[in-house]
Structure 1
Amino acid sequence: MDKEAFIKDEGLMCYDIYFYIDLPQVDQSTKRVYINIEIQNKTSPGYHLVTRGIAYSSRMISSQWGREYDDKNYDGMKKVYSFWIIPQVTKSKDGCINQLKIAENHLSGNYQEKRESYDKEEQLMIYLSKEHSPNDKYESYDEILMPIGALLNNTLNYQEKNEVIKEYGLEYEEFEERMRDMCNLGEALELEARQEVSKRKNIEYVRKMMTKLQMTFKEAIQFLEIPEDEEKEIEEYFKS
């Protein structure tokens, strides 16, 4: 799906990977779920990543309005999952997987709501450390943690990563290809290309706001708070 989610007055949100799956059910119907996957190299970006995850999940739900549900049928709302992979944590957090979800708590009485009516949001926070030895198995979910951890470990060379991943029945090239769209796979590469990427993205944001929201160029620039020096470069692009 489109990795950019824009809602007027709420701003633009960019996912690393965003897609949905239609799951076949026993009664021959399908059950749709929306999934977001993020890789975050910075463990302390100035806020709690869990809070950011809540914002992403909430946007995934609100963006279903008019497509999956509306004010005549809120039950059409589909469940969303947000997976956060943090590969640069300390050794003490290595291998931790935290699940956060909506739960029902009976403060009085024992009446139970139907689970499908509130079970609409779930986050999985996956913590990995580059200090983890590829020779040490994780106690739980090793088949998930080890290949991902090896791929994102910047202290392992190509051959070492390939050996770990092949042990789990995967080919390095195929596995890497499936993960390459995640914007934080290589922080060094991201830093090196940040200015150019930022300019291209801002050009696209301005273009969408001008066409979809009928904003003027100046209105879009002001809304996105683009610096003056970059504004001139973007303006030249539209002139050409």
Structure 2
Amino acid sequence: MSTEQTSLAIQIESANLKSTYNDHALKFIKHRIILAWIVRECIAEFSDYDIEFIMNHCFANEPLLKTIAVDQDTLDADSMINGSNTVDISAKEGSVIFDIVFDLILPNKVAGEAINEAVDEAINEAVDEAINEAVDEAINKATGDAVNEAVGDTSDEVDIEPVHFTVNIEIQKDENPGYPLVCRAIYYLARLISRQKGTAFVKDHYEKLHKVYSIWICTDTAKKRRNTIIDYSMDRHTLYGPEIKDDLNCDKMSAIFISLLQEENKSDNKIIRLLSVIFSKDIDPIIKKQLIEEEFGIPMTKEMEKEMNKMVDTWSE
């Protein structure tokens, strides 16, 4: 057992000895404001929220990168808290190193407000119908029915359990590493799903599974794939019988590939444009800073400038 721990410690220490382009890129990307942009533009559940709200209310923990190892075979479930590990080590399955892993939530307040708005709308519609009939009794009855049917609760605040997500972000320079990247992304998603047992759920409570996303930022791709965002998701297809539209539980994993522009041409897509500026080897760092701050409203801290300059210095690695 001690030998395994020593070996693991050596792996982590060795990985941190050499500072590479990928390391500096990850340190830049892991800032919440950059991640919030990626989340809003790529994850449908967050597309209606502004960047500031996502930054302040939707991160369940600090984004971590390549720093903490967790043995999947351990009996101590407390050591495998969701989002707390970026290196997923198993004595049986080998090791998988995630670039960045973090957890997101749609808080109670968000879900409650959405339902409260639906309730208000239902009440207004019911009241309007009752007024048209000019029957006061119908107004009261219709209003009560609308509320009861909408949420079964007449309180101002509706208590809804937060919706949880786990997000993995990868930076990929090599488009052809010797295997299809989509297959690797699927494996990462499977890892993110399986590691939830003992943390997100116990025993057979599979209904508590969190949806997982693996988002790949592809910095150097074939021309035909540039300026694209492709989503590979699990979906349902009815092979026989009537279509059933109330089963939404199959949508638990999604791999998203963002292929950047190599040229300085502007993309009409905001996140492609932002990431293309960040990862461009042709744009001067001073111009990059100006574009990021003025076009996207992202204040560049000294730490962010430092990592961006190091990205330029290590570009050829």
1:8 and 2:91 correspond: yes
The TM-score, its normalising length taken from structure 1, stands at 0.68
Farther-moved stretch of structure 1 (157-166 vs 76-85): 157-166
Q: In structure 1, how many angstroms separate the alpha carbons of the residues matched to 2:288 and 2:314?
A: 18
Match of 1:150 in 2: 277
Of 144, 164, 171, 2:299 maps to: 171
Q: In structure 2, how many angstroms separate the alpha carbons of the residues matched to 1:75 and 1:113?
A: 18
Match of 2:101 in 1: 18
Aligned ranges for residues 116-131 of structure 1 at < 5 Å? Answer: 116-130=248-262
Change (3 A) 1:102 1:151: same
Change (3 A) 1:158 1:126: same
Let me know the Cα RMSD of the aligned residues.
2.5
Identity among equivalent pairs (%) = 26
Q: In structure 1, how many angstroms separate the alpha carbons of the residues matched to 2:236 and 2:253?
A: 13
Kept in 1: contact 2:85–2:101 (CA 8 A): yes
Q: In structure 2, how many angstroms separate the alpha carbons of the residues matched to 1:106 and 1:22?
A: 31
Q: Which amino acid aligns with 2:314?
A: A
Q: Which runs of 5+ in 1 are unaligned?
A: 192-240
Q: Which amino acid aligns with 2:271?
A: I
Aligned ranges for residues 20-169 of structure 1 at < 5 Å? Answer: 20-24=103-107, 25-26=111-112, 27-28=158-159, 29-112=161-244, 114-130=246-262, 132-133=263-264, 136-139=265-268, 141=269, 143-166=270-293, 167-169=295-297
Q: In structure 1, how many angstroms separate the alpha carbons of the residues matched to 2:281 and 2:214?
A: 24
Q: In structure 1, how many angstroms separate the alpha carbons of the residues matched to 2:190 and 2:213?
A: 10
Cα distance, 1:150 vs structure 2: 0.7
Q: Which amino acid aligns with 1:16?
A: D
Q: In structure 2, how many angstroms separate the alpha carbons of the residues matched to 1:175 and 1:144?
A: 21
Q: Deviations over 1:34-90 (max 9, x none)?
A: 000000011111111111100111000000011112342111111001100001123
Q: In structure 1, how many angstroms separate the alpha carbons of the residues matched to 2:302 and 2:191?
A: 31
Name the one with the larger helix percent.
Answer: 2
Cα distance, 1:189 vs structure 2: 6.6
Q: In structure 2, how many angstroms separate the alpha carbons of the residues matched to 1:85 and 1:75?
A: 30
Q: In structure 1, how many angstroms separate the alpha carbons of the residues matched to 2:94 and 2:313?
A: 25
**Between Structure 1 and Structure 2, whose CA radius of gyration is higher?**
2
Q: Which amino acid aligns with 2:86?
A: K
Q: In structure 1, how many angstroms separate the alpha carbons of the residues matched to 2:231 and 2:302?
A: 28
Q: Deviations over 1:102-151 (max 9, x none)?
A: 11101000252744421100111000132x21xx3323x2x211111111
Q: Which runs of 5+ in 2 are unaligned?
A: 1-83, 113-157
Q: Deviations over 1:166-207 (max 9, x none)?
A: 222113347947x88xxxx6793794xxxxxxxxxxxxxxxx
Task: Count residues with an aligned counterpart.
Answer: 181
Q: In structure 2, how many angstroms separate the alpha carbons of the residues matched to 1:115 and 1:98?
A: 24
The TM-score, its normalising length taken from structure 2, stands at 0.52
Q: Which amino acid aligns with 1:67?
A: T
Q: In structure 2, how many angstroms separate the alpha carbons of the residues matched to 1:56 and 1:41?
A: 17
Matched residue SS, 1:117: coil
Query: Which runs of structure 1 show a deviation greater than 3 angstroms over 4 or more consecutive aligned residues?
Result: 113-116, 172-177, 185-191
Change (3 A) 1:165 1:89: same
Change (3 A) 1:51 1:187: farther
Matched residue SS, 1:118: coil
Kept in 2: contact 1:151–1:176 (CA 8 A): no
Q: Which amino acid aligns with 2:183?
A: T
**Structure with bigger RCO (C-alpha 8 Å, 6+ apart):** 2
